[in-house]
Amino acid sequence: MQRIKGYHAHVYYDASTMAQARALCEEASQLFPVTMGRMHQQPVGPHPDWSCQLAFAPEVVGVVLPWLALYRHGLVVFLHPLTGDELADHRDHGIWMGAVRPLDLSIFSQA
């Protein structure tokens, strides 16, 4: 059985919703023990859209996930665990809030 070491929530946005996404991510990092990443203005990694990563421990997923669901106000959020298997974490274990977006899973080793 795989152990979950943490979670990433990726908040997706574009030029017209960047300020909204920044406010959401900053508020999350003030309310919870969440580390806010950079506000990317280009696709990064497997993510097809601009995004900001929120990283947090398994112990707080029970409060962070429902808070994001309630306060994302139309933004797409992709949340996945960190088990050490990046492909499975993104492909099989992810939780989408809003529209499901096509991830570029080719960046992960299939080995």
Tens digits of per-residue pLDDT, 9-25? 999 999 999 999 999 99
- Cβ atoms of 27 and 67 within 8 Å: the answer is no
Determine, yes or no, domain membership for 71.
yes
Q: What is the mean pLDDT of residues 56-75?
A: 98
Give the domain CATH number at 48: 3.30.70.1240
Residue 1 is predicted with a pLDDT of 62
Distances (CA, A) of 53 to 1, 7, 27, 38, 94: 26, 10, 13, 7, 14
Residue 109 is predicted with a pLDDT of 72
With bands split at pLDDT 50, 70 and 90, how would you rate the model's confidence at 111? very low
Q: Domain range spanning residue 95?
A: 15-52+59-101
Determine, yes or no, domain membership for 6.
no
Could you give the number of structural domains in the chain? 1
Q: What is the mean pLDDT of residues 81-105?
A: 95
DSSP state of 93: S
Is the pLDDT higher at 73 or at 106?
73
- Cβ atoms of 48 and 104 within 8 Å: the answer is yes
Q: What is the mean pLDDT of the chain?
A: 95
What is the tens place of the pLDDT at every residue in 38-63? 999 999 999 999 999 999 999 999 99
Determine, yes or no, domain membership for 110.
no
Determine, yes or no, domain membership for 8.
no
